[in-house]
Amino acid sequence: MAITIELDLQIASEDDDVPEPEQFNQWVSSALILGHYDANPELPIEITIRIVDRTESQTLNNTYRQKDKPTNVLSFPFESPDEIPLQLLGDLVICAPIVREEATEQHKSLQSHWAHMVIHGCLHLIGFDHIEESDADIMESLETRIMDGLGYADPYAMNIN
């Protein structure tokens, strides 16, 4: 299945380790295809990914989730009215310093952890969640399958590279 993605990549971080736009496109594409997103092939899929530092992440996390600390990824799905022909998935906000720190703490490559954060966030945008254990099992299994298809290790295994 071929999909067209219009990615609005916003870099609002001082971090030097942000992947290239092509990588973000690949990760988004893989998540949507393997997540079985029901895309209209005649319309591009629009998504915004904003890369931020701790302060912005913490502000958004506190405002929208009442958690006063920065977090790795926030997902803001957009629900388009049926009568409007638009495939705007929503926004992902990823905190670059948190991604870097988690990759180090979890003994993962930085590239692999970036891929996981984008895939995880995209799955949230298309309706997956992990609040209930059974839903978490489904989502984690799908994330692992997508990561494997891209040549990355299981993101839930401990001490991986």
Enter the tokens of residue 95.
């905190």
**What integer pLDDT is reported at residue 49 of this predicted model?**
98
Quote the pTM value: 0.92
Full pLDDT tens readout for the chain, 161 residues: 578 899 999 999 999 889 999 999 999 999 999 998 887 888 899 999 999 999 999 999 999 999 999 999 999 999 878 787 788 999 999 999 999 999 999 999 999 999 999 999 999 999 998 878 888 899 999 999 999 999 999 999 865 44
Name the residue among 141, 149, 76 with its Cα closest to residue 115. 149
The CATH code for residues 5-149 is 3.40.390.30
Those residues whose C-beta lies under 8 Å from the C-beta of residue 43, and which sit 6 or more positions away, are 4, 85, 86, 87
**Domain coordinates in residue numbering, the chain:** 5-149
